Amino acid sequence: MIPTRLLRPTPALLPGFRAALERGWSADNVRGAAAAQETLARLDSEPEVYFQTTDDPEAKGPPVKLPDGSERARIPGLQRWIWDADDSGAGFCGSIGLRWAADGAALPPHVLGHIGYAVVPWKSGLGHATRALGLVLPLARAQGLASVENTTDPDNLVSQRVIVANGGVLLETFTKDAAYGSKPGLRFVIDLR
């Protein structure tokens, strides 16, 4: 089993992240290559702002762009890069983000769950997503969350297995916000108590 670590994004780790973006990968599994190009442009024009938004518990960063092109206010959150034992740029495996509503309120309808993750295709199938989700749960507890919601598409069996392997229980089938095309989704909950 290859060790999986969560690392706070830093300029020193940027080469691995940048290489993945240049190959067309993106943590935004809805907007894909377009989001990868936008992230590369941000890294080139305002890298400091990018790194500030990867740890943003006060939601001070710029608005978030949704798949339909609309923008919404950022909510508190943090991002970690998924990394394996290789400390070179080749160790980059993907990204996982945790977001929450201020004061314990429910997530806004345009936010599809507390945790989102994406693994680069050339490191998929190695268990990194399952281990990364398990590693981010203590960070969710540290934010005072008693449970987290994760959503996935009905046909994304891999993501469903990742969530269930971390204690996720199917809560409901729902219709995603219009910004996501009003498509069906599955909502899971993981109890953190």
CATH of the domain at 43: 3.40.630
Q: Containing domain of residue 42, as a range? A: 5-147
Asked if residue 191 belongs to a domain, the reply is no
Asked if residue 93 belongs to a domain, the reply is yes
Residue with tokens 């990364």: 132
Task: Name the pLDDT band for 132 (thresholds 50, 70, 90).
Answer: very high
User: Are residues 72 and 66 in contact, defined by beta-carbon separation less than 8 angstroms?
Assistant: yes
Number of domains in the chain: 1
- pLDDT tens column, 10-54: 998 999 999 999 998 988 877 778 888 888 998 999 888 888 889
CB count, 10 Å around CB of 179? 18
Asked if residue 178 belongs to a domain, the reply is no
Instruction: Find residue 149's DSSP bridge partners.
Output: 189
Instruction: Find residue 174's DSSP bridge partners.
Output: 185
Is the Cα dihedral 49, 54, 55, 58 positive or negative? positive
**Tokens coding 10:** 């830093």
pLDDT of residue 75: 94
Measured between alpha carbons, how far is 134 from 128 in angstroms, rounded to an integer?
Answer: 10
Average pLDDT over residues 161-188: 94
Task: Name the pLDDT band for 154 (thresholds 50, 70, 90).
Answer: very high
Task: Name the pLDDT band for 1 (thresholds 50, 70, 90).
Answer: low
pLDDT of residue 56: 92
Asked if residue 163 belongs to a domain, the reply is no
